[in-house]
Each structure stands twice: as C-alpha cells, then as structure tokens.
Structure 1
Amino acid sequence: MIELTIDKKKVRVEQGTTILKAAQQVGIEIPTLCHFELCDMGIENRPGGCRVCVVEVEGRRNLAPSCITEAEDGMVVKTHNIRVLNARTTVLKLIISDHPFNCLVCAKSGHCELQSLATQFGIRSLPYEGEQSHYRKDTSPSIIRDVDKCIMCRRCEMMCNEVQTVGALAAVNRGFMSVVAPAFEMNLVDSPCTYCGQCVSVCPTGALTEVDHTNDIIRALSDPAKTVVVQTAPAVRAALGEEFGLDPGTLVTGKMVAALREMGFDYVFDTDFSADLTIMEEGTELLQRIRGHLAGDSSVRLPILTSCCPGWVNFFEHNFPDLLDVPSTAKSPQQMFGAIAKSWFAGKIGVNRKDLIVVSIMPCLAKKYECQRDEFKTDGSPDVDFSISTRELAAFIKQANIDFLNLPDEDFDDPLGESSGAGVIFGNTGGVIEAACRTAYELHTGKALKKVDFHELRGVEGIRSAVIDFDGLKLNIGIAHGLGNARKLLDEVRAGTSHYHAIEIMACPGGCIGGGGQPYHHGHSEILAKRAAAIYAEDERKPIRKSHENPSIIRLYDEFLGHPGSQKSHSLLHTEYFPKSNEVSIYLNGHNGK
C-alpha cells in the first residue's frame, strides 16, 4: 500500500493504482474521454491519448494523464487548479475543432460524451480554425461508421479486439489522417465484423451508430394496405424504462405494449412466444443428437451449439467454417416469429404475405443484419421486414409524444403473444440452455420436473459449466457470453478436447441484456445485474414456466406444424450456415501490385 494526497485529501491505495482510480476512491471526479473500463471483465481501455484527464503532480514539469499515470508514495496531486482546467479546455477545443458541427441531426446527440464535456467546460467558441479531416461514410446492414466524428479514443478497437476477439477494427494511417477502420480500410460489410454492436455501445460520439429503420416503419404504419405486426424481445422490457428515467431493471412490459398499440401497430406480439417455439425445435434436436450419440452413431456431432444469436452465428461462420454442422439448425426466435407470422398467422387473418409487415424490437444490432439474410426470404420478401433497437424504440415513443410513464399496462395480443417463463429468460446469459433443460428433461424422462430453476446455469462468469442430471443421463453443459469467451470453447471443440454435450453462446457480455442496441450502460456491471434480475423476476411470476406447456405453442403444432422436427417445421423453422470467404485475402489478391 502507498499513500498520496489528492486535492488535500489523503488516499491509501495499492501500488500500481492509477491516479484516476485513486481519486475516484475518495469521491474526486476527473473527467475522461478515451478511458473506459469493463469492471467485471477486468478489461480497461486507457490509451491516455485524449489528455482530458490531465492533473498536476507536484515536482513534475508536465501535466500527467491520470488514467495511465500510476500513483506513487508521497505524491501530491491537484486535479482542478487553473492550470489543469485551462489545459483540459484547450484540449477539448482542439478535439472539437476537427469535429463536425451537426449536433442537431447527430444520432448520438444527448448521449455524446464530447458534447457533455463541452457543456461542462462551457465551451461556446473555438479559437482554432483550419482544415478538418474528412473520411467517407460506411454503411453496413447494421452499423454506420461516420469517421469524421471519430476522436481516436479507440474504445471500439478495445471491444472488438480484446473483448470480442473479432479483429474488425484497428487504428490505420498516421497523424491527421489516422482513423479506426477495418484492415486496408475496407467496408464493414467486407470485414470480419459480426454486427454485435459492442463497438457502438462504447463509442463516446456519433462515429459508430446503428442503421435506423424508424422512418421505414412510419411509412408502413401509414399505408392502409399494410397490416403491421410487432414483436418485442425479452431483454427490451428490462431496459426500456431507463430511457424514461426509471431505474435499471424496472420492468415496463405492460407500458411498452400500450405504447406500441398507441403508435398504430395492428398487433403487438411477444418474441417470447417464438422463444418457446425455438425450445421445442432446439430441445428436440438436442435430445435426438444425444440419443444418437449414446446409440453409437458416429455421424452425430456433439456438442450441439445454440443458434439464437446472429452475432455469434456470424462469428462462427467467419472463424470456424469447419464446424458449421455443430450448431443447432433452429432459427433464432426473431426469424421463427417472422416465418410463423407470414404463414400461419397471415392465413388466419386472411392477409397476403406481401401485405403483412413484421417489425421486431431487439436489444441487438446484429438482428438488423439477420433479417436481411437471403435464406430468411421467400420470393425476395423477408420474414422480418425491419428490426429496431431498444434505443430506437425509446426515441420513436418520444417522437410520437406518448406519455410513457403514465400509460396503463396492457397485455400482448393472441395467439403470438402468449409465452412461458422459459421464453422470458432467453434475455440472460444461460437462459436459453436453462429453458431447453426445462423442456428436454420432461420430454426425455416423461416425468414432471420438480425444480424448474436451474441456478447452476446462471451467473456472470464469462465461461461457466454445469452437469445436469436427466434422471440418470448426465449432461455436461457449457455457457459462454462475449465472443472472446466463445472462441475459447470453440477452440476446444475444434481440437476435439471439449467434454460438453451442449454449449450456449451469446455474443454480448451479459447476454441480450447487454446487447449493442440497449440503453448505454457504459460498462457498469451493476446495471446488467439489475436487468438480469428483472428477467428472472418476470419468469417467476409467469403461471407457465415451461415452453412445451404454452397453450398457443401446443395449438400451433396441432393446427399447422404437426410435431417438433416435422417436415413443415424444418421447412419454416430451421436453416443452414455458410462459410464466410477470407475477405482480406480476396482484397489483397484483387489489389496486388496497385
């Protein structure tokens, strides 16, 4: 332990602690911009490049960036004297001088950390005039890169490389022309990007934002020839309230339904319904593979991998093309919903497929890409037309001038709005495999499950494992959230050393509750914990907590699908995976000698 003085306050900290963290320990706030920390993962972005966090250390000639300068015994630090304030203001003015001034129409306005600091420091004029750097805008199916707004904090690079291990973003060029971009400055769509959106969730400015489909939905809602239905993912209800000033983890399910109905949607449904449907198909596939394995069928591939997360699907298509027969072939709940809505439900209400518009509200930016994949289209018509994030929904509700907090609670419409508690917990890491175990146990044993909650499958560790006893059949379950953790488990599968029968993988830290389209949580793990608790609380309140007991699911199979794994089920509810070509090699070969 060492002792130092910060703003006349004595502080005792462990050796190796930065001045920034030492100051925080005694309630002294130092402004930061490039610094970012994921506390529960032990990962910290501290390049020390922006110099917004500079402080004065007695005995040193130059100001020190507090985010990378380690505290020393006897050190005397001043964090808010005139010299420091002047330096910070100067740095901010220099950064802003090379930044677009279109705050009124910027997607990050109101949530921009650079904008907030400019307000905090009272910056109302810029003494520095000169050339501004300009870079082309890059629009992918899910994410927009507007690099003119990049301040080179490199938070996105940290998330993409250290947390997700995707490697789609890195600093390129030098000096005035330096930017964060994919290799060889290719477009995101040509890079290994999985569209998980974690880069968007940590970007302090509007350099990375989601593709907004709100105006497309408004046009659909205003077209009298169209019937517009909406589905809402389980993680949305646990986070949407944050955008209206409610505490993290406040469930707003009923108010969300009421708001969507007031906005003009013809039917308001729940993705939890198709999560139950996913369990019926994926659980059946799990049991078939395990039984085949036990019978000695060498063609059976284990472990089976869950397939609900499109960011994860994109990841293994890019990085593990030799393992494409390992994941479950079941579509995600979003896509299962679209397939059923545009076939069974459209027939029930007498609407042609082309006149039924399916909108999804998702915590995930990869869902925007997923609904545009060719295999999820029929005659060019997508099963899900538009996907918007939790943030976009909140902005849409505000745009519609709806008094969200005073709305009465309303229920989802039938039949695609009825769900079990198993469908709700899909939003948390471990939730998909727990829901599958609730159903697979009873299908395998023919016995009622006495303990519905599988607490051994829950937790926040990046990689977890548990053994679930199916009345004598011991299943080894693996769970990973965050693509960097997924890579570790997949490397074991590839090497043939994995001992798991089934593995659940979610691309985002915490699962869908920490998705790239959720309200910004800025790395605070306690926010994710509260969202997770809300999801489990809703599960406990549900009268039905097993997917196979959902009456609407039973009815769907009786009337339309036949049984899980039937020919019709495979046609509508299952998919295949495709290896992604090595875009970098193609790029290099195409530009050889140029």
Structure 2
Amino acid sequence: MLKEETLKVVINGQEVESSFGKTILECARDSGVDIPTLCFDSRVKATAACRLCSVNVKGRRLPVAACAQKMEPGMEITTDSSDLESMRKTILDLVVSENPTGECVRCEEIGPCELHTLTKRYGSKPGRFHGALSGEKSKDTNPFIFRDYSQCILCYRCTSVCGELEQAHAIVPAGRGFGSRIAAAFDSGLLDSSCTFCGQCIQTCPTGALMDRKMLGQAKASEVTKVKTVCPYCGTGCGLNLHVANNKVIGTTPDWDSPSGEGSLCVKGQFATDFVGHKDRLKTPLIRRNGVLTEATWDEAYDLIVEKFTQIKEESGPNAFTFWTSARATTESNYIMQKFARAVIGTNNVDNCSRT
C-alpha cells in the first residue's frame, strides 16, 4: 500500500499537515478552521463564484479563493483578518442588494438558508448599495420544484450538481453580465426539459431560489420535526428525513450520512411520500372471514400463515409454493426470503420482480 504524501502548511499561525491535492478550504476544515462559503458544494468542482472563501497567502498580492487553490508546501495562510472580514461583508452587502430578501419565505417555512445565516453573522443589510434587482420569479408550473430566481445569487451550485452529479444537464447558466440567469433549455419549464426531479438542486441551493413546492404553506419551520428513516421504494435503501408537522408528512430531505444514498434521492424518495397519510393505507393485517377482509392482530395473521403453509406442504408438497420477492425490499430481506423458501419450505421456486 502506497503511503499518502503529505505536506506542511501554516494556517493562522498554526502548523498543520495535509495531503497533496487538497485545497486550502479542505485543509482548513479538516483542521477545524471555519471559512465561509456560498458557492461551494464538496460533491462537485469548485466554481469560486462567490469569493467569500478568499484568504490571504503570504507572498501573494491578492487574496485567493480557498475552494479552488490547491495546497503547496510551506504555505502561510491567514483565513481571518479585519480586511478579509470587511471584504466578506461587502460581498454579502452586494449580494443582498440585488435580491428582495424580505419576500423570501424559505427561512420561515423550511428553515434558515445559508445566505440568511451568513448575512446575520456579518450584519449585512440590503440598503448599503442601490440598483436594479436581478432575476425574476419563474412561471414554471411543475408540481415539485418552486423556482424563484429573484432570490438567485448565481452561485451555480444547482447547475453543477445537475450536470456533474446527476448527469441530467436540465438547467444551465444563460445570458451574460447582469442578465445572467439559470434556465432550462430554450427557457422552457422543467417538465419539458431533461430534469429527473431528483431534488438535488433544491438541497444544494443556499437561498430561497429553489424550494420543495409541496412543503410551502404547510407549516412553520419551528413546528416541523425531522424523522430519520429509509426510503421504501427500492432495495438501494437511501436514507431520508421525513419532515413531520401536526402528525403529517409534509416533505422529505436526504440523509447526508446515509452510506447508500450519500445525500442523493430519486424523484420517488424526494417527492412521493403522500401515500404515508393516504386514507386507504393499510395499517393492520387483514384476514378474510366469511368472504370479507377484516382487521386482525399480527399474532392472528402469523398463526393463519403457519396453519395454511403447513396444510399446503402436507397436502401438495414443497414445490406447491413459489416465493416472489420484491425489488422494493432490501437485499437482506430478499436473502432471508430465499433462505426460508429453501431451508424451511424445501423449494427452489424463488424469483424476483426485478428480473423481468
């Protein structure tokens, strides 16, 4: 096994060790040093669009973007100084001067966005600079993603995850200069684009420009409880967080710590949770009595299964059984089912719907 090459640098007067190929931002965060960012998403290539992460490097005339600058041996880096803090506040003042922050509902209904958190930290207010507002609300009528580009700060995180991570390229940068914007091909709606509605653009957006349409107007963020669970739609087992208010599931976000999904969901896991509260959802086992399905306890259901399985095996033999497992179940559940079929019942009649 090859030993990973390391280098030594100085960050805020403290010598730290890092790996070749890492950026200043990665090294700083590994060392517990906070550097603010707005355009950075660790899953995609750095765009260095916001410049909030700019730091001073000894020997360099101008600050450099920590998210894009690779570490070099012997670097002496300053991440926190009065000049840097003043520059970051000015950047945030410029950002909020272009966006009508008072009209954004995300912070109240979904939770504080990254932009709001940073403006509060630096005391930035929209009144310092005056000029035209950028972006406009989209008329897109898709049922899943609410697009309000009057809140867009052109960080390009959404286009990066859409193109690099999801390989969908449904939204891309369009226009030039102050007229730059995020758009689908030919300025069409997302329903007419290559969008798969995975929701990754919503999750990475640091403002209220992209939001889960189904969560809007449901409850205040303070009234919502997050419940960690596993998506039931396939055997991948992506982790997700159910947003629950008044004993009702109002939305879903990915579990970033999930080893299978790693923060990604498909359209089903992201948006298709309405069935949880459907009035026809089965909540107890049903047993047919006198031709009518009636509610039963789990013990009653298991006793009936044992009785019928034993009767069928004695009368017709083990090959009278066929076990059809589900692609929605986990690999472990499917393994247990085939083990039960072969070891307990004694049949090899096992199949899975994912094969067809």
TM-score (norm 1): 0.41
- Residue 115 of structure 2 aligns with an amino acid whose one-letter code is L
In the alignment, the residues of structure 2 paired with residue 102 and residue 11 of structure 1 have an alpha-carbon distance, to the nearest angstrom, of 42
Whether the aligned pair in 2 keeps the contact of 1:133 and 1:148 (CA below 8 Å) is yes
Give the aligned partner of residue 262 of structure 2: none
- Residue 238 of structure 1 aligns with an amino acid whose one-letter code is K
- Residue 91 of structure 1 aligns with an amino acid whose one-letter code is I
Whether the aligned pair in 1 keeps the contact of 2:39 and 2:155 (CA below 8 Å) is yes
- Residue 48 of structure 2 aligns with an amino acid whose one-letter code is G
In the alignment, the residues of structure 1 paired with residue 210 and residue 270 of structure 2 have an alpha-carbon distance, to the nearest angstrom, of 15
Give the aligned partner of residue 87 of structure 2: 87
In the alignment, the residues of structure 1 paired with residue 215 and residue 40 of structure 2 have an alpha-carbon distance, to the nearest angstrom, of 31
Give the aligned partner of residue 333 of structure 2: 435
Q: Which residue, out of 325, 344, 347, partners 1:447? A: 344
1:103 deviation in Å?
5.2
Distance of aligned partners of 1:503 and 1:112 in 2 relative to their CA distance in 1, 3 Å threshold: farther
Q: Which residue, out of 14, 17, 32, partners 2:19? A: 14
Whether the aligned pair in 2 keeps the contact of 1:103 and 1:109 (CA below 8 Å) is no
Instruction: Write out per-residue CA displacement over residues 292-317 of structure 1, whole angstroms, 9 at most, x where no aligned residue.
Output: xxxxxxxxxxxxxxxxx9737xxxxx
1:104 deviation in Å?
6.0
Whether the aligned pair in 2 keeps the contact of 1:6 and 1:76 (CA below 8 Å) is yes
**1:46 to 2:46 alignment:** yes
Give the aligned partner of residue 130 of structure 1: 131
Give the aligned partner of residue 206 of structure 2: 204
In the alignment, the residues of structure 2 paired with residue 12 and residue 4 of structure 1 have an alpha-carbon distance, to the nearest angstrom, of 6
**1:414 to 2:284 alignment:** yes
Q: Please give the secondary structure, in 2, of the residue aligned with 1:55.
A: strand
Give the aligned partner of residue 182 of structure 2: 180
Q: Which residue, out of 260, 267, 279, partners 1:311? A: 267
In the alignment, the residues of structure 2 paired with residue 45 and residue 414 of structure 1 have an alpha-carbon distance, to the nearest angstrom, of 49
- Residue 364 of structure 1 aligns with an amino acid whose one-letter code is Q
1:158 deviation in Å?
2.3
**1:121 to 2:122 alignment:** yes
1:237 deviation in Å?
4.2
**1:364 to 2:262 alignment:** no
Moved more, 132-141 or 45-54: 132-141
Distance of aligned partners of 1:419 and 1:174 in 2 relative to their CA distance in 1, 3 Å threshold: farther
- Residue 188 of structure 1 aligns with an amino acid whose one-letter code is L
- Residue 34 of structure 2 aligns with an amino acid whose one-letter code is E
How many residues align structurally?
281
Give the aligned partner of residue 27 of structure 1: 32
1:71 deviation in Å?
1.5
Distance of aligned partners of 1:98 and 1:21 in 2 relative to their CA distance in 1, 3 Å threshold: same
TM-score (norm 2): 0.66
Give the aligned partner of residue 397 of structure 1: none
1:44 deviation in Å?
2.9
In the alignment, the residues of structure 2 paired with residue 193 and residue 415 of structure 1 have an alpha-carbon distance, to the nearest angstrom, of 39
Q: Please give the secondary structure, in 1, of the residue aligned with 2:203.
A: helix
Give the aligned partner of residue 76 of structure 1: 76
The structure with more radius of gyration: 2
Give the aligned partner of residue 279 of structure 1: none
Distance of aligned partners of 1:213 and 1:16 in 2 relative to their CA distance in 1, 3 Å threshold: closer
Distance of aligned partners of 1:150 and 1:430 in 2 relative to their CA distance in 1, 3 Å threshold: same
In the alignment, the residues of structure 2 paired with residue 157 and residue 75 of structure 1 have an alpha-carbon distance, to the nearest angstrom, of 32
**1:97 to 2:97 alignment:** yes
Whether the aligned pair in 2 keeps the contact of 1:45 and 1:155 (CA below 8 Å) is no
Whether the aligned pair in 2 keeps the contact of 1:50 and 1:153 (CA below 8 Å) is yes
Distance of aligned partners of 1:140 and 1:11 in 2 relative to their CA distance in 1, 3 Å threshold: same
Distance of aligned partners of 1:177 and 1:201 in 2 relative to their CA distance in 1, 3 Å threshold: same
In the alignment, the residues of structure 2 paired with residue 14 and residue 216 of structure 1 have an alpha-carbon distance, to the nearest angstrom, of 46
Distance of aligned partners of 1:503 and 1:115 in 2 relative to their CA distance in 1, 3 Å threshold: farther
- Residue 228 of structure 2 aligns with an amino acid whose one-letter code is A
Give the aligned partner of residue 151 of structure 1: 153
Instruction: Write out per-residue CA displacement over residues 223-263 of structure 1, whole angstroms, 9 at most, x where no aligned residue.
Output: xxxxxxxxxxxxx84259xxxxxxxx9999xxx79x52xx7
1:26 deviation in Å?
2.0
Give the aligned partner of residue 164 of structure 1: 166
Instruction: Write out per-residue CA displacement over residues 4-47 of structure 1, whole angstroms, 9 at most, x where no aligned residue.
Output: 1110011221222111111122211111111112xxxxx33411
Whose strand proportion is higher, 1 or 2? Answer: 2
In the alignment, the residues of structure 2 paired with residue 17 and residue 216 of structure 1 have an alpha-carbon distance, to the nearest angstrom, of 42
Distance of aligned partners of 1:161 and 1:24 in 2 relative to their CA distance in 1, 3 Å threshold: same
Distance of aligned partners of 1:503 and 1:54 in 2 relative to their CA distance in 1, 3 Å threshold: farther
Whether the aligned pair in 1 keeps the contact of 2:106 and 2:113 (CA below 8 Å) is no
Distance of aligned partners of 1:86 and 1:432 in 2 relative to their CA distance in 1, 3 Å threshold: same
Map 1:317-396; keep pairs closer than 5 Å.
363-365=269-271, 367=272
Distance of aligned partners of 1:419 and 1:432 in 2 relative to their CA distance in 1, 3 Å threshold: farther
Instruction: Write out per-residue CA displacement over residues 122-162 of structure 1, whole angstroms, 9 at most, x where no aligned residue.
Output: 22453210001232412311111111111122222222222
Moved more, 108-117 or 190-199: 108-117
In the alignment, the residues of structure 1 paired with residue 241 and residue 135 of structure 2 have an alpha-carbon distance, to the nearest angstrom, of 43
In the alignment, the residues of structure 1 paired with residue 83 and residue 355 of structure 2 have an alpha-carbon distance, to the nearest angstrom, of 55
Q: Please give the secondary structure, in 2, of the residue aligned with 1:34.
A: coil
- Residue 116 of structure 2 aligns with an amino acid whose one-letter code is Q
1:215 deviation in Å?
5.9
Whether the aligned pair in 1 keeps the contact of 2:96 and 2:125 (CA below 8 Å) is no
In the alignment, the residues of structure 1 paired with residue 92 and residue 283 of structure 2 have an alpha-carbon distance, to the nearest angstrom, of 51
Instruction: Write out per-residue CA displacement over residues 202-239 of structure 1, whole angstroms, 9 at most, x where no aligned residue.
Output: 1111111111367699xxxxxxxxxxxxxxxxxx8425
In the alignment, the residues of structure 2 paired with residue 250 and residue 140 of structure 1 have an alpha-carbon distance, to the nearest angstrom, of 23
Percent of residue pairs bearing the same amino acid type: 29
Whether the aligned pair in 2 keeps the contact of 1:213 and 1:386 (CA below 8 Å) is no
Instruction: Write out per-residue CA displacement over residues 161-207 of structure 1, whole angstroms, 9 at most, x where no aligned residue.
Output: 22222221211112112122211221111112121212111111111
In the alignment, the residues of structure 2 paired with residue 419 and residue 178 of structure 1 have an alpha-carbon distance, to the nearest angstrom, of 60
In the alignment, the residues of structure 2 paired with residue 157 and residue 7 of structure 1 have an alpha-carbon distance, to the nearest angstrom, of 34
In the alignment, the residues of structure 2 paired with residue 194 and residue 158 of structure 1 have an alpha-carbon distance, to the nearest angstrom, of 15
- Residue 447 of structure 1 aligns with an amino acid whose one-letter code is V
Instruction: Write out per-residue CA displacement over residues 338-396 of structure 1, whole angstroms, 9 at most, x where no aligned residue.
Output: xxxxxxxxxxxxxxxxxxxxxxxxx522x27xx8xxxxxxxxxxxx6999xxxxxxxxx
In the alignment, the residues of structure 2 paired with residue 213 and residue 131 of structure 1 have an alpha-carbon distance, to the nearest angstrom, of 30
Output the aligned Cα RMSD: 4.1
Distance of aligned partners of 1:56 and 1:430 in 2 relative to their CA distance in 1, 3 Å threshold: farther
In the alignment, the residues of structure 2 paired with residue 74 and residue 146 of structure 1 have an alpha-carbon distance, to the nearest angstrom, of 45
Give the aligned partner of residue 193 of structure 2: 191
Gaps of 5+ in 1: 38-42, 218-235, 241-248, 266-308, 313-362, 372-383, 388-411, 421-428, 450-469, 478-500, 505-594
